[in-house]
Amino acid sequence: MGSTSTYHIAYISLGSNFGDSKKELEKAIELMAEHVGKIIQVSDIYRTKAWGLQNQADFLNQVVGLETDLYPHDLLKKILGIESEMGRERKVKWGQRNIDLDILLYDDYVIDTQSLVIPHPRMHERNFVLYPLFDLNPFLVHPIFRQTIRELKAWCQDELDVHKLKSK
């Protein structure tokens, strides 16, 4: 892990629409627990039509909250490594994929570099991110917009339906 014992709270979105998507989400969470930090929250799983390229299978989406001592760029390297370990191939933008991991938030940091943008630049436009994030913390404040996840969800213009899967 990182070089300091200070822990940070990060929220990571997970998505899958290829293979056994539920198992892919479970495996990604296991690998994050092993290599990234302590998983402290796991949202329900949501089914959503594909966003962007729509002629593909529905996605299963989820968000986890975790404690990590990794700095943001190191966290990004680790989750990209997990995607690679799980066989993720980046062939078509917004195309089908067995796993997609994105950093949504990292404490209240605002980062805008060529390789990393936090908060995720389109999270406020996507119900498939806002619904599971709302499960975890509706009062979490977006560090740029200064609005809660509850407010962002209420004002989101995304028209794709999001359906919570039944819990086990």
Q: 100 catalytic, yes or no? A: yes
- Residue 136 tokens read as 């975890």
Q: What is the pLDDT along the chain (168 residues), one digit of tens a residue?
A: 454 468 999 999 999 998 899 999 999 999 999 999 999 999 999 999 887 767 789 999 999 999 999 999 999 999 999 999 998 776 655 567 889 999 999 999 999 999 999 999 999 999 999 999 999 999 999 999 999 999 999 999 999 889 999 765
Q: How far is Cα 63 from Cα 133, in angstroms, rounded to an integer?
A: 6
Up-side HSE of residue 92: CA atoms within 13 Å toward CB? 10
- Among residues 69, 102, 135, 150, which one is catalytic? 102
Q: Residue 95's pLDDT is what? A: 61
Q: 97 catalytic, yes or no? A: yes
Query: Is residue 127 included in any domain, yes or no?
Result: yes
Q: How far is Cα 23 from Cα 17, in angstroms, rounded to an integer?
A: 11
CA-closest candidate to residue 66, choices 45, 42, 101: 42
Q: Which domain holds residue 126?
A: 8-164
- Among residues 100, 107, 112, 150, which one is catalytic? 100
- Which alpha helices (H) appear in 49-116, and where do they start and end? 72-85
- Among residues 88, 107, 108, 112, which one is catalytic? 88
CATH number of the domain that residue 41 is part of: 3.30.70.560
Q: 90 catalytic, yes or no? A: no
- Residue 7 tokens read as 């822990």
pTM of the model: 0.92
Q: How far is Cα 154 from Cα 120, in angstroms, rounded to an integer?
A: 18
**Into how many domains does the chain fold?**
1
CA-closest candidate to residue 103, choices 18, 30, 8, 6: 8
Query: Is residue 2 included in any domain, yes or no?
Result: no
Q: How far is Cα 84 from Cα 90, in angstroms, rounded to an integer?
A: 10
Query: Is residue 79 included in any domain, yes or no?
Result: yes
